[in-house]
Amino acid sequence: MDLIAEARAVRENAHAPYSGFKVGAAVLSDSGTVHRGCNVENAAYPEGTCAEAGAIAAMIAAGDTRLQAVAVIADSPRPVPPCGGCRQKLAEFGGPDVKVTLATTGGLVEDTTIGALLPGAFTQSDMDGA
Give which of 19, 21, 2, 1 is closest to 11, Cα–Cα. 21
At residue 45, what is the residue type? Y
Q: State the catalytic residue, choosing from 6, 52, 92, 110.
A: 52
Rg (CA), the chain: 14
* CA angle 35–36–38, rounded 5-degree value: 155
Q: Is 12 designated active site? A: no
Catalytic positions are: 52
